Structure 1
C-alpha cells in the first residue's frame, strides 16, 4: 500500500492553504486530501452579494507566508483581468463572493491532490512488528489511505440552543441562502432572527432587503449590536508573533487575553453594517412603515414550529414581559462549535491526550499530543484556541499556520 507523508481530512480554506504550502515547499511532501463534499465550497449559505470580508485581502491563502506566491489574491485578480479595477475599488476588504471565487480558483489548481466525495469514517493506527504505531489508515467508504501524518481541518459546525431542532421553518444562518432558495412563500409576513453577531446582522439585512414587505424581528440578549474592535493595536492579536506569546503564556493569562480581545471576533458586528441597519430603522420610523424591529435585551422563551411557520414567545428580560409572534421562519444566528475531532478520528482519537480542562493538548506546531501507543503525527487546524489563541480558527492566520505544519511534517522526516 502506498504510504503518504500526510493525509488531510477536509479541504476548506485551511487545508487548501496547506496544500499550496506543500506544493511550494523546498522538500516536496507526498500528500492527499479527502473532502466529503463533491466540490470545493466555503459557507455557501452566507455568500450574500453585498457582504464583504472582515479580514484584509493580504491575509489570503499565501501572502503572509510567501508574498511571491502566484496563489495570492492579487494573482487571482490579475488572472481574471480585474487588478486595476480592484485597485480603484480602494478597499482592503473584497466582496465575500469574490473571495470565495478566489478560493475556488486556487482549489481547482490543487485538484490533483484532492479526493472529493470521501467521508472519513475512521482513522486506525498501523502497528509494525516492534509494536510502534508509525502510521495510520484513514478510512472512507471509497478507499483507505495510509499516512505518516494526518492533518484535520474540518471547520466548524452550526450551533443551536439545546432545545431547538432545525426544520422546514427553523433555520441556522449557515444555510440561509439554501433555505431561501427552496422557500415557497411568495410574500412572507415576518421573519425572526436570533443572535447579536456579524452573521445575525447580515441575516437581518439580507431578509429585510430580500422581502420588501415582510417584517424582520431581530432578537438578542444585548441592548444593541456591539461593533468589532478592528483598531490598529487590537488587530495585533492576529499577528504571527501573538501566537507565540499566547502559546507560552500561563493558563490564567491565556484566559485574560482571550476574554479581553473577544470583541475583535465574537458576537460583534462590522461598524458600517450597524450604521446601515440603524439608518433603515430610522428611515422607516420617519416614513411611518416600520418593518425592521430590534427586540433588545430579549430571548426566545418558547418556540412552536408549525407546517407553515413558527410561533415564538419573546421575553423582554428587564421586565419579564412576553410577546407572542407568528413568523414564516426563524433564523438562529447562534454561532458555531468545533467538530468533535476525537470522534472524527475514531480509533486514533483514543490516543489523543487532554489537559486538566479536558481540552486536547497541542504542540506549538499544531500537532496533537498523543500517548505512547501512537507515534504517527496528528495535526489540527482549528479547535486549538485554548492553546494558540483567537487566530486558531480564523482565515487571518491560515497561511502562516499552513507553513508551520508543512515545515513540521517535513522536519520529522520520512520513515
Structure 2
C-alpha cells in the first residue's frame, strides 16, 4: 500500500464525468468566495482521460438540451465555467450567436466539457479505479469521522488509501444488453459504437442492423445509412414507429429545478403522474428532426424505386447466432407472430442503460445505508444517502435516484443546481478549521 495512506479530504469524488465535474466547479466557486476555509477535494476517474459518451459523437448529432443548461449557469449565471465563457475563450461567441441555435452539436458540447475539466487536472487522477470504500474501526467510543477509500492505479497496479469525510459517487450509467446477448466484434452496444465501427472496413459492412426505438438508435441508423451507401440498413424496434420526444415548453418544465422539489415532496400519486404523463420527454423517444430525416430518406427511396433502408417495426430480437464473421439474427414479428432470419455484418443494440447502483462499490458499507419498502436506497433531498447513526460520513450519489428525485435525476438538465446542492451540503457539514486539523492528526495516528 502506498505511503500516502493518510491523505484526508473533505470529499473524494468517484468518477469524473459531467456530474462530478460540475461538483468540482461548485466547490471551486465556494473556495473563491470563502478563501480562508477551502474545501479539500480529489477525484478518481477510471478512464485515462476525460470523456463523455465519446462513441456517440456522431457528425451533426445535436444536444437535446439548451446550451444554457451547462455545468454552472443555472446555479451561477456569471460563472466563468459557463458555456458562454467557453465560447468567448474559443473565439466563437459571435459565430454561435449568428447561428441562432439553442442546441450545439454533441461534439462541440464535448469540447466544452473538456475545456472545463482541464481546470481541475491538479485534483483529478485519471486511470484510477476505486476498488473499495470502508469504514475504519472505531477508536474507543469515538465513531470514525472519515471513510477509507482504496484506489488502484490502472497502469501500474499500485494501490493507495485516502480518507474522506464525504464521498460523491458518479460512476455513470451501465450499458444494457438484452438478456442472452453479448457484445463482441460484430455485436455492439451503442456505448461502444464509434470505436467498434472504426475498427471495421466499411466495404465489409454490406448489411447492418440497429435495435432500439430511442434517440441513439435513430441517430446510429441515420449515420450508417449515410456512411455506407452500399449497405442494407435495418432498423428493428418493437413499436409501430418512432415516438417523438415532447420538448414543448410546458412539458420541459419537468426538468426545472423546482420540479425536483415537487417530485421529492409529492405524494405517491403525484410521482406516478410525473412518469405517466411525462416519460415521453426523455425515454424511448426521438427528436422530431431526426425522425423527419429518416422518413425523408425512406420516401426518397420510394421515389427512386430502390430500397436499402428497412424499418422492421413491431419486431423484437429473439437470438443472435455467431459463427466466425457470420452473424444471424432471429426476429420475432409481433404483427403476425412469425419468426424471420436476418444475416448481418454487424448489429448495434441501442437498448439503453441501467441506473447507477452504488451497492457493489460500497460493499459491506452498504448495510449502513437504509432502504425503502421496495428495497431502494433512501436518499435525502441533497442527494445524500440516508444511513444508520454509526455512519456519520456523507455518501452522495449522482444518479440512481429516479425514485426520489424524478426524471432529471441523472440528466444534464439539472446538473448545475444538483451539484450545487451537494456542494452546499458538504461545505455546511465541515468541521471548523482547528477541529479539522485535530481530526487529521487523529486519523494519521489511528491508521
Q: TM-score range by the shorter chain?
A: over 0.9
- Which of 136, 140, 146 is residue 129 of structure 1 equivalent to? 140
Q: Is the 8 A contact 2:383 2:422 kept in 1?
A: yes
Structure 2 match to 1:21: 26
Q: Is the 8 A contact 1:9 1:152 kept in 2?
A: yes
**Structure 1 residue 336, shift from structure 2 partner:** 0.4
Matched, 1:374 2:391: yes
Matched, 1:220 2:230: no
Task: Provide Cα deviations, 1:176-195, integer angstroms capped at 9, x if missing partner.
Answer: 10001111352421111110
Structure 2 match to 1:186: 203
Backbone CA RMSD of aligned residues? 1.2
**Structure 1 residue 324, shift from structure 2 partner:** 1.0
Unmatched runs of 5 consecutive residues or more in structure 2: 1-5, 153-158, 437-447
- Which of 82, 86, 91 is residue 72 of structure 1 equivalent to? 82
Structure 2 match to 1:274: 291
- Which of 340, 345, 348 is residue 323 of structure 1 equivalent to? 340
**Structure 1 residue 119, shift from structure 2 partner:** 0.2
Q: Is the 8 A contact 1:170 1:305 kept in 2?
A: no
Q: Distance in 1 between matches of 2:399 and 2:195?
A: 25
- Which of 403, 408, 411 is residue 386 of structure 1 equivalent to? 403
Structure 2 match to 1:140: 151
**Structure 1 residue 131, shift from structure 2 partner:** 4.4
**Structure 1 residue 346, shift from structure 2 partner:** 2.1
Unmatched runs of 5 consecutive residues or more in structure 1: none
TM-score, scaled to structure 1: 0.98
Matched, 1:296 2:306: no
**Structure 1 residue 205, shift from structure 2 partner:** 0.6
TM-score, scaled to structure 2: 0.91
Matched residue of 1:122: which SS?
Answer: strand
Q: Is the 8 A contact 2:151 2:160 kept in 1?
A: yes
Q: How many residues align?
A: 415
Matched residue of 2:129: which SS?
Answer: coil
Structure 1 match to 2:442: none
Structure 2 match to 1:409: 426
- Which of 47, 51, 72 is residue 62 of structure 1 equivalent to? 72
Task: Provide Cα deviations, 1:215-240, integer angstroms capped at 9, x if missing partner.
Answer: 11111110000000001000001111
Moved more, 309-318 or 272-281: 309-318
Task: Provide Cα deviations, 1:348-374, integer angstroms capped at 9, x if missing partner.
Answer: 223211111111110000000111221
Structure 1 match to 2:15: 10
**Structure 1 residue 256, shift from structure 2 partner:** 2.2
Q: Is the 8 A contact 1:121 1:346 kept in 2?
A: no
Q: How does 1:14-413 map to 2 (within 5 A)?
A: 14-25=19-30, 26-27=33-34, 28-126=38-136, 127-141=138-152, 142-184=159-201, 186-413=203-430
**Structure 1 residue 308, shift from structure 2 partner:** 1.0
